[in-house]
Amino acid sequence: MSASDLLVANGLVAGYGEMQILHGIGLRLAQGEVVTVIGPNGCGKSTLLKTLIGIIHPTAGKIVLGGHDITSTQTRARLRVGLGYVPQVRNVFATMTTEENLLMGLVAIPGNVRERLEAVREILPTLSEYWNATAGRLSGGQQQIVALGRALMASPKVLLLDEPSAGLSPKATDEVFGHIRAISSQGGVGVVLVEQNAHKALAISDRCYVLAEGRNRLDGDAASIAANPEVGRIYLGAGDAADRP
């Protein structure tokens, strides 16, 4: 673990009941860094995020955030110490307004609620356009931005994002990814991004982990992973140039 590491996971073994999905996965993330996790379906990407946020508890391994071991803590405690999580699709409360959705993201942190709402509005200015709209009536891209805003309400140091581009148009994906990059580089928030849309995710990432069958297969800086012919062939759909940014 280096001094700049904000989040470090080592040797994570986890799954659902008897079914083990993660077989000793490791990951590290520095402040203000975007790290993408890619891999084929079923390789454990979403399970990794659920383990990091505390929805699933690992049977082995260790998770350290800001120097504190959080492996055995509950989700609420992890949110309080600086983890934020946006689950995959259907991640907003459809009958609530944008503002109400954001308020749901508050955890017991000191500070004025109005100030916090305004701070999130500054980070994601487009929220103002549909502030009082019911989330269920928003487009997929707008819903993702609302979900991002809700996660930001707790002032996280690290954001865990599970396929934020799922079901989005290319234009909406670009907008959401633009926000993610800005949150990271301007706000200093570390981002772990699980994505199927690897080309676009790698374009905004600093580093990348490639998973296969619940294990680390490759890791490195995003550009070298994107240029790796094996990764390109297996995970990035080499030849599908139309999808490249």
Partner 1 sequence: MTAYLVSILIFASIYGFVALGLNIQWGLTGLINLGQVAFFAAGAYCAALATRAGLPFLLALVLAALISGALGAAVALFTPRLREDYLAIVTLGFSEFVRLIFLNEKWLAGGPDGIAGVPRPSTVPGLNSETSFLAIAAGLLAVAFWFSQRLARYPIGRTLRAIREDETVVASIGKSTLSYKTLAFVLGAALAGIGGALFASYLTYISPDMFGPNVSIYVLAAVLLGRQGSTLGTLAGTAVVALLLEGTRLLKDFITVVDGVQLAALRLMALGLALMVIVAIRYRPGRRA
Would you tell me which residues interact with partner 1 (CB under 8 A)? 53, 55, 74-80, 85, 87, 90-96, 100, 103-107, 150
Give least dist CB 107 to partner 1, A.
6
Query: Cα dist. 12→63, 218, 223 in Å?
Result: 8, 16, 26
Q: Report the residue number, 22 or 146, with the smaller CB distance to partner 1.
A: 146
Distance CA 94, CA 118 (A): 22
Q: Report the residue number, 73 or 197, with the smaller CB distance to partner 1.
A: 73
Give least dist CB 170 to partner 1, A.
26
Q: Report the residue number, 43 or 86, with the smaller CB distance to partner 1.
A: 86
How far does the chain reach from its first CA to its final CA, in angstroms? 33
Give least dist CB 231 to partner 1, A.
30
Q: Report the residue number, 133 or 212, with the smaller CB distance to partner 1.
A: 133
Q: Report the residue number, 60 or 94, with the smaller CB distance to partner 1.
A: 94
Which residues are bridge partners to 60 per DSSP?
13
Under 8 Å between Cβ of 52 and 61: no
Q: What is the side-by-side strand order in the sheet with 158-162? A: 83-86, 158-162, 190-194, 34-38, 207-212, 215-221
Q: Report the residue number, 74 or 139, with the smaller CB distance to partner 1.
A: 74
For the record, the structure tokens of 1 come out as 């673990």
Give least dist CB 75 to partner 1, A.
5
Give least dist CB 76 to partner 1, A.
4
Give least dist CB 209 to partner 1, A.
22
Describe the chain by its helix, strand, coil percentages, rounded to 5.
40, 25, 35
**Residue 195: burial class (beta carbons within 10 Å; 0-12, 13-18, 19+):** buried
